[in-house]
Structure 1
Amino acid sequence: MRSPLDEQQRHVVPIVLGGVLIISAYALIGALQITVWNPMAAVPGMSLQEIKTAMSSVNEPLVETPVYAWALAGPVLALTVGTFSIVKFPDLPWTITRYFLILIMLGTPTYYFVSFSPGMSLADAFSTTGGDHSPWSRILYGMSILALILLLLTLRKKDQKHGKATQPLP
């Protein structure tokens, strides 16, 4: 039985799968950091439920819906980019790799944006700082920095399209 993907498309599937998995891991770590690890690190000695109850009692609830929307948006965007890339750019593996590296790089500013409100609610409820108290966010920052470095390293790589080299990104 023949595969619905041609040879070029099968060649880029591992790139797409790797990108989707890395972005999904980023989203999971980010969501856990914001909703579980950071609150528990900021208020040691209290359970997560006790922290949420105390925050709600002073009208500073830990609003999680935007965090979950952010955590879902990353993998959905990665799947969309991956599917589109397999169909439209199967002969451009370096370009597809760059797309995923850019998405990973964008994780840090979007993480900061989505974590701001929960962090400030935590800070206001417990008279602490609104920044990260748990070290797990460093994984996210490290992943984004590594993606930037890898992106810069891939700019010289050229895709072979129909026997001709394409121009690298500016």
Structure 2
Amino acid sequence: MVGAAGLVAVVAYAAVAAVQILVWNPLAAVPGATLAEISGTLDATGETFDAPMVLGILAVGPMLALAPLILAWRNAVSALGAAASVCLIIAAGALGYFAASFGPGMSLADAYGISGADYAPWGRVLILVSAAALVGAAACGVLALRRARGATMEG
């Protein structure tokens, strides 16, 4: 169950990241313009969002999240181990988000003479989710150590 929930969480993170990079951020960066107008300006200036590259980078997380799902399903890892793995994958999502958003951000910056930073707030939300997941992974590690120490004391 933890592996399946983890896969869903990682896919949701990647989906929000994709929409943030390809829809919400461009619309926030160029207020009043439609995506079609923004795309037209990018084309006219020789820039692109390169959506396949963005989606390819963001697909790494869901592919990695298959491992805890499969290992948990085969009882090769505990629920706590699967949870820690998923938390680490979501924590690493911040790096994936940065890598996937860099090119489109620079394309907007070059085409419109603006900063390549996030204009829509959801990028910061993703980073906060990644930070919380890192704390969750650490908590799983502490809990695993306590459980191991308790098992050693009993045995």
With the length of structure 2 as denominator, give the TM-score of the two structures.
Answer: 0.88
| Contact 2:58 2:96 (C-alpha < 8 Å) held by counterparts | no
Q: Shift in Å at residue 158 of structure 1? A: 2.7
Query: Quick one: which amino acid aligns to residue 128 of structure 2?
Result: G
Selected match of 2:10 from 16, 23, 27: 23
Moved over 3 A (4+): none
Q: Shift in Å at residue 157 of structure 1? A: 1.5
Q: Give the aligned partner of residue 44 of structure 2.
A: 57
Cα deviation 1:31-76 (Å, max 9, x = unaligned):
0011001000000111001100101101112211111112333222
The aligned runs of 1:96-107 (5 Å cut-off) are 96-107=82-93
Q: Give the aligned partner of residue 38 of structure 1.
A: 25
| Contact 1:27 1:70 (C-alpha < 8 Å) held by counterparts | no
Q: Give the aligned partner of residue 151 of structure 1.
A: 137
Query: Quick one: which amino acid aligns to residue 127 of structure 1?
Result: G
Identical-residue share of aligned pairs (%):
33
| Contact 2:57 2:99 (C-alpha < 8 Å) held by counterparts | no
Structure 2 gap ranges (5+):
none
| Contact 2:85 2:137 (C-alpha < 8 Å) held by counterparts | no
In structure 2, how many angstroms separate the alpha carbons of the residues matched to 1:77 and 1:39?
28
**Cα-Cα RMSD:** 1.9
Selected match of 1:108 from 85, 90, 94: 94
In structure 2, how many angstroms separate the alpha carbons of the residues matched to 1:128 and 1:59?
16
Cα deviation 1:70-104 (Å, max 9, x = unaligned):
233322221233113321524x2211111111100
Selected match of 1:67 from 30, 54, 59: 54
Deviates more, 1:113-122 or 1:74-83: 74-83
Q: Give the aligned partner of residue 83 of structure 1.
A: 70
Q: Give the aligned partner of residue 120 of structure 2.
A: 134
In structure 2, how many angstroms separate the alpha carbons of the residues matched to 1:69 and 1:20?
17
Cα deviation 1:17-43 (Å, max 9, x = unaligned):
111111011000000011001000000
Structure 1 gap ranges (5+):
1-13
In structure 2, how many angstroms separate the alpha carbons of the residues matched to 1:156 and 1:81?
19
| Contact 1:89 1:96 (C-alpha < 8 Å) held by counterparts | no
| Contact 2:58 2:97 (C-alpha < 8 Å) held by counterparts | no
Q: How many residues get paired? A: 150
